[in-house]
Structures are given as C-alpha cells and as structure tokens.
Amino acid sequence: MKRLISLTISLLILAVIYWKIDFPRLVQVFQNCDRLWMVVSLGMVVPLVAITSWRLQQLAPASSGLDFPEANRLILASSVLNMVLPSKMGDIAKAYFMRDRGHLSGSLALSLVVFEKACDLLSLLLWCVFGLLLYPAKDALFWAMTTGVTGGLIVGLLLLSSPRFARVCFGLASRFAPKKIKIKLDKLRFSWGEMHDYFWGDRRRLVTVTLTSIFLWFCHLLQIWFFILALNAWTPFLTNLALSPLAILAGLMPLTFAGVGTRDAALILFYQPYFGEATGAALGLLCTARYLLPAIAGLPFLERYLSTLRTQNR
C-alpha cells in the first residue's frame, strides 16, 4: 500500500508537470539534442557503477573475499531495489546479500553499508555547500537552504567522527520515537558503533573511501551537467554544483516512487533561471535514466540473489 501511494504521488506530480508544460516542446528538446553529448552523458553510468563497486570492495576487509565482479553484481542488484524502495534503501539489501553469500557477518555487513550511505550523503552535501556558497543569486530561500545543508553536513560529520555525539543523538531519537522505530534505531545504534570502530581503526581505508566518495559524487554531478549540454542548454558548472544536489536531495524524500516527480519538479524550479520548463522536464527524465539503466542491468543479478535467499530459507 505504501508503494502504491508513493507511485500515485509520483504520477500525480508528473501529470501536473506535463499538463503545465508544452509536451510537443519536450519532444522537440530531445529531437534537437546533441547526440554526442547524450551518448557521453548516459555512458558515464558505466564508470560510475565501476567506481562504486571498487569502493565497496575497498570497504570490505581483505578476509571477506569480496572481489570486484561480486561487488559490481551487488551494486547492480541493489540498484533494482533502489527503484522501488524509498530513500535508496535498496542499498541496505547489500548487507543481507553479503551476509548470506558468506562474505561478512550480518552486523559488520550492515555497518559497512551504513558507512557507505553516510559517505554518499556527506559527499553530496559537501559539493552542495561548495556550490551554494559560490552561487551568485542567493535569495532568502537559498540562504535558508545553504544554512540547512551546511548544518546537515556538520551534524553528519560529527556523527561519523564522534561516538559520544552519536550516542547522544541516537538516545534522543530513541526516546521520542514510536516503539517500532525505536527497535530499528537500537539496531542502527549498535551497527553505528561497530562501524566507527571498524573504519577509524584503519585510517588508510578511511581516507581512501572518503576521497573516493567525494570524487564519485563530483562525477555524478558532472554527469548531470553533461545532460544539460546534451540538451543544448547551458548552466555554469559551479551553479550546477549547487542546484543538482538540491534536486537529488528532493528525490530522496520518501514521498514518491524512486524520487520520480519530486526530483523532476525540483529540477524545473531550480534551473528556471537558465532554461525553460520543457528542458527542465527533459533533464528530469535523463536523471531518472541515471537510476533506471543500472537497475535494468541488475535485474538478472537480483534474481540470482533472491533465489539464493529463498533456497536458504526453505
């Protein structure tokens, strides 16, 4: 029922978007696109998945036996689940797959994935803060977003670097959370502590994963800028560093199906000073393709992992 509601919300938002814009103009935007840039921008999905897979391999201890091909299959399989689960929670499924494939214990696998998601979010916030600080036309809304994103980045860094701060935050959240969420928070608090001990115990791994995450998200935002060039539009690259993360964050809200709708509306709104609504809607479709292409490639691997789980649970 929750997925049906989120799908309905996505369809309603898209219906409003396409009702307001000139749909033939949207078709014309794609017809007049720069085909070379379109191939280059969509083709970036391949190295982005490869870098993400390599990072996952670096996250795991050497004793886990997690090689690059297996890490790549895990990334692609989780991409399928990210299309149907809110806030990219399909990434959490990698922990269960790694546990059941015998690579890691359940708690360490969850700790690894939690750290991976934390690095992704903080890297995205870092580039967003960098872009927002350099964004030339900040009004009250953008100053509020700059303050909010900067605050989120600071809190996230404190959660990763300070076990005491993390315990206080989890304690406060657990105190006011409903019973079902409280149980999940308690599990996450345990995994968070194990994650901190594991990663801060190896500073070399920590630096490698951190720098890789920052570079990875730079490439993600570069791909979106390439999409804009492919649509024969223009936005300064530093401006894109501010605007595209905001749209991605809007898509992470657990309101719509895989962020479809909220991300599209955010792209149209934020990029309005630089190109029209039809181009913004086209950019939204291309950003959805960023998630759809790995999901399509991951369908055979997801079936393999799910078959293994069903066999083990009989």
Handedness of CA 145, 146, 150, 156 (dihedral sign): positive
Give 273-308 pLDDT, tens digit per residue.
999 999 999 999 999 999 999 999 998 888 777 765
CB 283 within 8 A of CB 227: yes
Q: What mean pLDDT is predicted for residues 170-189?
A: 78
CA 253, 258, 260: angle at the middle one, nearest 5?
Answer: 85
Closest CA to 224 of 193, 257, 194, 251: 251
Longest Cα–Cα distance of the chain, Å, equals 60
Q: What mean pLDDT is predicted for residues 222-240?
A: 96
Least confident of 49-58, 106-115, 119-128, 214-223: 106-115
d(CA 210, CA 208): 6
CB 129 within 8 A of CB 153: yes
Least confident of 68-72, 250-254, 294-298: 250-254
d(CA 206, CA 115): 10
d(CA 125, CA 168): 23
Residues with Cβ within 8 Å of residue 182, at least 6 apart in sequence: 174
Kindly tell me if the per-residue pLDDT of 1 is higher than 70: no
Question: What is the percent of the chain where pLDDT is above 90?
Answer: 44
Residue 246 burial by Cβ neighbours in a 10 Å radius (0-12, 13-18, 19+): buried
pTM: 0.89
**Residue 62's Cα: distance from chain center in Å?**
26
d(CA 123, CA 279): 27
The string over 84-108, giving b where at least 16 C-beta atoms fall within 10 Å of a residue's C-beta and e elsewhere, is: ebbbbebbbbbbebbbbbebbeebb
User: Rounded to the nearest 5°, which phi and psi values hold at 22?
Assistant: -85, 105
